[in-house]
Chains A and B, each alone.
Chain A
Amino acid sequence: DAKTTQPNSMESNEEEPVHLPCNHSTISGTDYIHWYRQLPSQGPEYVIHGLTSNVNNRMASLAIAEDRKSSTLILHRATLRDAAVYYCILRDVWGGAQKLVFGQGTRLTINP
């Protein structure tokens, strides 16, 4: 499985945008980029995913570099509830098991 690299931790202020980076220089053409987050004392929850084009949903936006070797998860207006560990994961679109390989993620702290 392709590897991703994320900063161990980031800090931001409430109501400001947050940009969480992820590097995946060995990504293959059939890898989707997935983001999950894990709130304290909870299981991970899906945030967003994309293949080549930028994606938006009610939770966040995903900006994918043109060469697909990096991506950025964008929280447009952070709230205290967004404090969590964010995982960037590559999933092979042809991988029948849909296995997710979790790294250590980025621990996001939101200051009031």
Chain B
Amino acid sequence: DTGVSQDPRHKITKRGQNVTFRCDPISEHNRLYWYRQTLGQGPEFLTYFQNEAQLEKSRLLSDRFSAERPKGSFSTLEIQRTEQGDSAMYLCASSSRLADYEQYFGPGTRLTVT
């Protein structure tokens, strides 16, 4: 396991549809983070898990967004009833206490809502 992986890498969907993204963290990393990056901006924090527990959600995460991390391994981020404003790069990162929780990022999932 060489790094954080995300699937799919690209997703095009029509407004109103639901989409789900997956993130597989580095093995043994107990913390997992989701960020959103819109064009020309830096990534913004969305939510964070320690093992299977979701410990914080940003105000950016509306009721249409839900994230899970069953069994403290991979995580999914679902967006219901997508809107054009949801178009962005969704980045996942993971970290470990052994590395002082330095965050390692995946390649991201680019979402386009038409």
A and B bound?
no
